[in-house]
Structure 1
């Protein structure tokens, strides 16, 4: 019975996360209410408060639900020991990131919510630092890999590992925003692997 109760609770939590993603995407985060989310999930508002103390906590649970498997996939490439050149690992990880974005509608929706449907005001004014944590963690990871490439003599002479990582971080963020927000670049998704290869090629030692 206890196991069944736990399974029911996990299922209810998942229903709320899925409903929150749908409502946030349709209405925008600031105009979404816990009541709307409960209705979309077919549950009561009390069920929401049983699992989440407020909308911000539900927002971060939604993000974590989508991002955890994505990060596991990209990190598997980034930290793989099968690449003799650390820059190959960065390139493969970036390509996998955009492959996940193309293949997984849930991940794409969450990024769209965070980029264009969330205003960091009112109850969200104090959570912006936490909201940007995944981007900071991505930057820290590629800084380590760029430093490894420099230590192994794989980074082009004259390039600073930290600056190179920041440039790649900005490049990736820019492509993500273009892909999700701009309708003027039809077929951009087909060009991304080539653009990533070109970006990384400029960093490789001749």
Structure 2
């Protein structure tokens, strides 16, 4: 007897796989077009043409350009944040400041090795004007990064407790300072497309940033 339930299940799986493949195709095309033109100057028609699809196919998966931008961001940034935060596992380091330095360096190693990550950050930081309908996205992005402050603050508190952090530094303020340093350095790294400036020196900059937070060795 023919098993219609199994056949229906195969159809559902095939349809789901095809839907996900089309969604990824659209996101990849959007990333390319946003990186080339900027978000505000890119139309859904241009993205559809780049993906080899109709505009209607895009609306099947995304409500509008903002919805597509969010999907592009979240598909890369959310998994990346989880992977990078493993570098802040203090149990792997005798000195919590070493964990923070490793965490900072991991961002630039990922940018260097992963084109999709690099293009996504380029779109978010250099090719999008956070005004009008995109204005709310900036606030949401700040809300989502709040846990990074918490992680860094915890690491700096651990460093203070271990006697590794300079006595005159407050863990909360120092965590905020490191976060600002990281975001600014990523932005400058991405902008250095000729690889003549910060990309060559970012490891040394990270080391210097952390060195200024370490308690001097006893004489």
**TM above 0.5:** yes
Aligned mates of 1:201, 1:160 — CA distance in 2: 16
Kept after mapping to 1: 8 A contact 2:87/2:99: yes
Corresponding residue of 2:17:
7
Q: 1:54 corresponds to which residue?
A: 64
Aligned: 1:28 with 2:38: yes
> Which residue number corresponds to residue 202 of structure 1?
212
Partners of 2:147 and 2:37 lie apart in 1 by 29
- Counterpart residue number, 2:198: 188
Question: Using the alignment, how far apart are the partners of 1:204 and 1:95 within structure 2?
Answer: 17
Tell me how far apart the structure 2 counterparts of residues 92 and 16 of structure 1 sit (CA, whole Å): 34
Counterpart-to-counterpart distance in 1, 2:193 and 2:63? 37
TM-score, normalised via structure 2 length: 0.85
Asked whether the equivalents of residues 70 and 97 of structure 1 are also in contact (C-alpha less than 8 Å), the reply is: no
Q: Secondary structure at the match of 2:136?
A: coil
Correspondent of 1:88 among 80, 98, 105: 98
Equivalent pairs counted in the alignment come to 206
Contact 1:146 1:155 in 2 (8 A): yes
| Gaps in structure 2 of 5+ consecutive residues | 1-10
Name the SS for the 2:122 alignment partner: helix
The equivalent of 1:103 in structure 2 is 113
Report the counterpart of residue 71 of structure 1 in structure 2.
81
Structure 1: runs of 5 or more not aligned: none
Distance 2:22 2:193 in 1: 36
1:68 deviates by: 3.1
SS at match of 1:126: helix
Cα deviation, residue 80, structure 1 = 4.7
Decide which structure has the larger Cα Rg and report it: 2
Shift of 1:154: 2.4
Q: Say whether 1:141 aligns with 2:151.
A: yes
Instruction: Give the RMSD, CA atoms, in angstroms.
Output: 2.0
> Are the structure 2 counterparts of residues 137 and 31 from structure 1 closer, same or farther at C-alpha, using a change threshold of 3 Å?
farther
CA distance in 2 between counterparts of 1:194 and 1:69 reads 27
Distance across 2 between alignment mates of 1:128 and 1:187: 28
Superposition deviation, residue 203 in structure 1: 1.1
2:188 paired residue number:
178
Closer, same or farther: CA 156–17 of 1 in aligned 2, 3 Å: same
Shift in alpha-carbon separation, 1:101–1:121, aligned structure 2, 3 A:
same
Of 42-51 and 121-130, deviating more is 121-130
**Distance verdict in 2 for CA 1:166–1:110, change over 3 Å:** same
Q: 1:105 and 1:121 mapped to 2: Cα distance?
A: 27
